[in-house]
Structure 1
């Protein structure tokens, strides 16, 4: 599913930009040179980039400017990389953030 804007009246056309293959959860996707992981996945119809660490609920792109950390993914084995701030590199391996054990215990401070 391609939802990418190929021509924008202000930003111009994507036609002259190099296509970069990369992997997300083992599947091949295509980005354009200068495109972020979040932008490339959004254009491909991917909405869930990780799950909440404790609840397992889906998370995706929220602010898209690097403030909220909702788009954290694993890139080439490095955890908690912000997809909205990271440019795609050819052949990069991106994986969704996964459910982690909770550090919080019931009855503890703030519970």
Structure 2
């Protein structure tokens, strides 16, 4: 039996640069990939072990935000590389870490809202 069958998943809703969104009754499953990108995906590389780290960080940040009273699109972590969230309309945003950020010694984080 496949993972999709065990988790009662439907089809793929969306595939981004580093995640896939799969339909799950009443919510979605966000599946991280071992993929890193740069230059709006002009450069792509496989990075073994990135998916579990990304999922762990994303899940923990969202749990901390929820604990502080901020609503997030996070229900629970599902395994090492995925988490579930309520199915909602996506606001296209991107967080970028750059070691070359001139304003911050050692790098910085940028937030981009895409229309």
TM-score w.r.t. the length of structure 2 is 0.33
Which protein has greater RCO, CA pairs closer than 8 Å, 6+ apart?
A: 1
Higher helix share: 2
Q: Please identify the structure whose Cα radius of gyration is greater.
A: 1
The structure carrying a bigger strand percent of its residues is 2
